Amino acid sequence: MRSDKNFQRRRRITAIDVAKAAGTSQSAVSRAFTANSSLSKDLRERIITAARELGYRPNAIARSLTTRRSRIIAVVMSYLNNQFYPDVLEKLLDRFQKADYQILLFTSERSGLSDPLFEQIMRYQVDAAVLASTALSSRLAGECRAAGVPVVTLNRTIDDPDISSVTGDNQRGGYEIGRFLSAAGHKNLGFIAGIKQSSTNRDRELGFRQALREAGMPNPQYALGNYSFDETVKAARHMLSQHIRPDGIFCANDHMAIACMDVARYEFGLNIPKDLSIIGFDDVGAARWKAYDLTSYSQPIEMMVDNTFETVMALIEQPEQPARHLVVPGKLVVRSSARLPLS
């Protein structure tokens, strides 16, 4: 043991110390800190008292070797600059912490990991993995599942129907946005897409196009924003410079809609919604900021996180149960960035 006046490193109290103090065995100490284990009431109390006096803390990591439960959930998330994800993360943390699980956080695309993400996740013997917003979802989900780690994708579905997912109602949302814009008498609509191969973008676009077809409108003008602010700035510039300028644009998320509004107002001098309607998706906090006051289709984060939590718990208990695919309904939140339907 080292000790100096600036620093003291306490020796960690072990189960052996507690066993000695309580006059019992190490295995009894271990059982005293395990729910539903057999131990006389007297002995348990003697152990707990000794543990408290010594400042003993059961070591979650040592325990995970015997229980094969680490009580760690891996969460993989990119795009933290899109406010939707920090909000999701905050609620996930809250929900899992309350159930005495901890979150080991990983980013993917931009991380430059020396090992593949899968290897990193496996090393920590996580009880389950939640994959949100990562382009690696498909491969990673398959690898985790094959290794016996339950997986839930959040705000994404992947091709494998055996991987559970929780999403907002993307297709319905895109559809309602299309109906809202066509009912307001817009003539030329545009769509600024997120990442093309993401399920969120695909489903939102699908619903949007369906509504336009039903209303007898032509296909929307199309540009790719890739869920990136800077790329959306370029996409909006391109779209608004066309000979026939759209009078309404659906951006596949709010983060892109905000970029699009800035370009329309400050580079093209357009009045929103008089000259141009803009609608987003997610209903993030910034959609409520008065400078944007963005009409958007909501993704109820709390309910999505609750469903994710429950699915993860169910899969930890019974890994072989059939996958769940939960779609959480949202609603169109009408603010002032888009013209209202003609009545």
DSSP string, 74-96: EEEE--TTSTHHHHHHHHHHHHH
Point out which span in 39-47, 165-173, 178-186, 317-325 binds a copy of itself (CB under 8 A).
Answer: 317-325
Amino acid at 325: H
Candidates 37-45, 103-111, 173-181, 201-209; binding stretch for a copy of itself (CB under 8 A): 103-111
- Selected range binding a copy of itself among 18-26, 92-100, 179-187, 236-244, rule: CB under 8 A: 92-100
d(CA 310, CA 325) in angstroms, rounded, equals 12
The rounded distance, in Å, linking the Cα atoms of 257 and 227 is: 10
- Cα–Cα distance for residue pair 212/79, rounded to 1 Å: 30
> How many C-beta neighbours within 10 Å does residue 300 have?
16
For a copy of itself, how many residues bind (rule: CB under 8 A)? 68
Widest CA span in the chain: 87
* Residue 98 binding a copy of itself, by CB under 8 A: yes
258 touching a copy of itself, by CB under 8 A: yes
How far apart CA 297 and CA 280 sit, in angstroms, is 7
Q: Which of the stretches 197-205, 220-228, 239-247, 289-297 binds a copy of itself when contact is defined by CB under 8 A?
A: 289-297
159-218: contacts with a copy of itself (CB under 8 A): 162
Label each residue of 24-51 as H, E or C.
Answer: CCHHHHHHHCCCCCCCCHHHHHHHHHHH
Using the contact rule CB under 8 A, the part of the chain among 77-85, 177-185, 200-208, 240-248 near a copy of itself is: 77-85
The distance of closest approach from Cβ of residue 46 to a copy of itself in the complex, given in angstroms and rounded to an integer, is: 21
Cα–Cα distance list, 148 to 11, 19, 151, 163, 251 (Å): 36, 35, 9, 12, 38
Q: CA–CA separation, 95 vs 310, rounded Å?
A: 10
Amino acid at 298: S
Nearer to a copy of itself (CB atom), residue 20 or residue 265: 265
Residue 113 is a binding residue for a copy of itself (CB under 8 A) = yes
Site string for a copy of itself, 16-55 (x = CB under 8 A): ----------------------------------------
Cβ neighbour number for residue 48 with a 10 Å cutoff: 16
- Answer yes or no whether residue 60 interacts with a copy of itself by CB under 8 A: yes
The least CB distance from residue 211 to a copy of itself, in Å, is: 29
Q: Is 327 in contact with 263 (CB distance < 8 Å)?
A: no
By the rule CB under 8 A, 61 interacts with a copy of itself: yes
CA 333 to CA 343: how far, in whole Å? Answer: 18
Q: Is 84 in the site for a copy of itself (CB under 8 A)?
A: no
- Which of residues 51 and 211 has its CB atom nearest to a copy of itself in the complex? 51
Q: Name which position in 39, 48, 103, 136 contacts a copy of itself (CB under 8 A).
A: 103
- Which positions touch a copy of itself (CB under 8 A)? 2, 4, 6-10, 12, 57-62, 64-65, 70, 72, 80-81, 83, 85-87, 89-90, 93-94, 97-98, 100, 102-107, 110-114, 119-120, 122-125, 145-148, 162, 229, 258, 261-262, 265-266, 285-286, 289-292, 319-320, 322
